[in-house]
């Protein structure tokens, strides 16, 4: 029996209660009274709760229903989870899809428990949305590859132990066919990481220079020259991850957060502002329904397809609408870096507003998402 969709929420069927009870017992046993031990992430990964949909022994081969049940209990308990978004969301699924047993055993445990942070070395100064035009080269030299090139917009490169890397291994092949997919140790000689300071003051992104970096051949994922196919696996997971509930690529505030502030401050009298608040709320509910539709499709055994581009295109613009409206409601307080709507002291609003400018670019621009929708969903002619 599948979960029942009631309005905008999910009601779990009786058979999900066994899973929920199991999760509650685990939390009560390992974190009594909400006291989470220092090795909590390792314990959580050990029972497959970090990525329950992954195959055993890394996950639980969980159905979509089981995943929902596990997630609901973990959320209800307020338990922490490993912070390794690129490793868990993108690198891990690709290693499961194409990695050898040895590669999985070497890297998946550290991904799941968050002890080894990962980054993604895909975009280049002249190859962003047209990623297949990348020019970073990997030349075979015995049992190693020698890599030279530059990557940019690499999130968490300054914190990462490993990275997934696309590099051209056959310069004479067509641009989609001469690319290979590697795992690179970010501590390797020849790697230089330089932070890119953002206008909100943080430096989550970096440019990365690779000068004669040596990568062992056993770090090649899949077959040589087959990297573009694997890149599409990674990017498909990326677009799902970047269109989650929060307004800032699945993180941060939501429309409900803003409406809570408005209600707490007595609402707004201006009918035009009320209409704009309603519009932002409607956008958030449409996105929520799309997510529930995706869940329903997975419960029916249907894998997500190009519709993830619809979610991302809508979610990015919604995030910008939401954050712009929040700063406008802040009035002159919007000029400060630590105040939000109605002067509420909370830095997430002004910082989120500045960060939201990047939403329609990162993870594939909105224009690229619309090309995918037009070509693969609507059947329109390909972009010239």
Question: What's the alpha-carbon Rg for the chain, to the nearest Å?
Answer: 22
How far apart, in whole angstroms, are the C-alpha atoms of residue 286 and residue 284?
5
DSSP 56: T
Q: Which residue of the set 116, 238, 245, 383 is catalytic? A: 238
How deeply is 335 buried, as exposed, middle or buried, from its count of CB atoms within 10 A (0-12, 13-18, 19+)?
exposed
How far apart, in whole angstroms, are the C-alpha atoms of residue 209 and residue 149?
6
Q: b/e string for 21-52 if b means 16 or more Cβ within 10 A?
A: ebbeebbeebbeeeebeeebbbbbbeebbbbb
A 10 A CB-CB count for 193 gives 17
- The verdict on whether 238 is a catalytic residue reads yes
How far apart, in whole angstroms, are the C-alpha atoms of residue 20 and residue 68?
9
A 10 A CB-CB count for 187 gives 9
Residues annotated as part of the active site: 238
């Amino acid at each position: 029996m599948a979960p029942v969709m009631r309005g905008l929420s999910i009601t779990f069927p009786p058979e999900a209660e066994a899973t929920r009870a199991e999760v509650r017992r685990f939390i009560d046993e390992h974190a009594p009274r909400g006291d989470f031990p220092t090795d909590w992430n390792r314990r959580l990964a050990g029972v497959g709760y970090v990525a329950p949909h992954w195959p055993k022994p890394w996950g639980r081969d969980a159905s979509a229903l089981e995943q929902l049940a596990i997630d609901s209990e973990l959320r209800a308990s307020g338990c922490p989870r490993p912070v390794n978004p690129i490793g868990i969301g993108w690198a891990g699924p690709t290693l499961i899809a194409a990695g050898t047993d040895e590669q999985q055993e070497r890297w998946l445990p550290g991904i799941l428990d968050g002890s080894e942070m990962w980054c993604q070395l895909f975009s280049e100064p002249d190859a962003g949305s047209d990623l297949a035009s990348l020019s970073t080269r990997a030349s075979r030299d015995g049992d190693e590859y020698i890599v030279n090139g530059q990557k940019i917009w690499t999130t968490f490169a300054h914190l990462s132990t490993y990275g997934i890397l696309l590099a051209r291994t056959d310069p004479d092949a067509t641009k989609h066919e001469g690319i290979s997919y590697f795992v690179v140790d970010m501590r390797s000689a020849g790697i230089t990481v330089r932070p890119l300071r953002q206008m909100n003051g943080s430096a989550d992104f970096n440019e990365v220079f690779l000068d004669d970096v040596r990568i062992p051949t056993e770090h090649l994922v899949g077959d040589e020259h087959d990297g573009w196919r694997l890149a599409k696996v990674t990017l498909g997971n990326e677009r799902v991850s970047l269109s989650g509930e929060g307004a800032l690529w699945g993180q941060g505030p939501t429309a409900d957060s803003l409406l809570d502030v408005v209600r707490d401050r007595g609402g707004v009298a201006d009918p035009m502002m009320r209409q704009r608040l309603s519009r932002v709320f409607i956008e958030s509910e449409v996105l929520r329904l799309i997510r529930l539709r995706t869940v329903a499709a997975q419960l029916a055994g249907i894998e997500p397809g190009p519709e993830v581009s619809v979610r991302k295109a809508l979610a990015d613009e919604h995030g910008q609408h939401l954050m712009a409206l929040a700063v406008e409601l802040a009035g002159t307080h919007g000029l400060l870096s630590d105040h939000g709507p109605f002067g509420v002291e909370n830095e997430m609003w002004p910082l989120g507003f500045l960060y939201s400018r990047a939403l329609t670019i990162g993870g594939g621009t909105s224009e690229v998402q619309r090309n995918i929708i037009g070509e693969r969903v609507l059947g329109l002619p390909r972009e010239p």
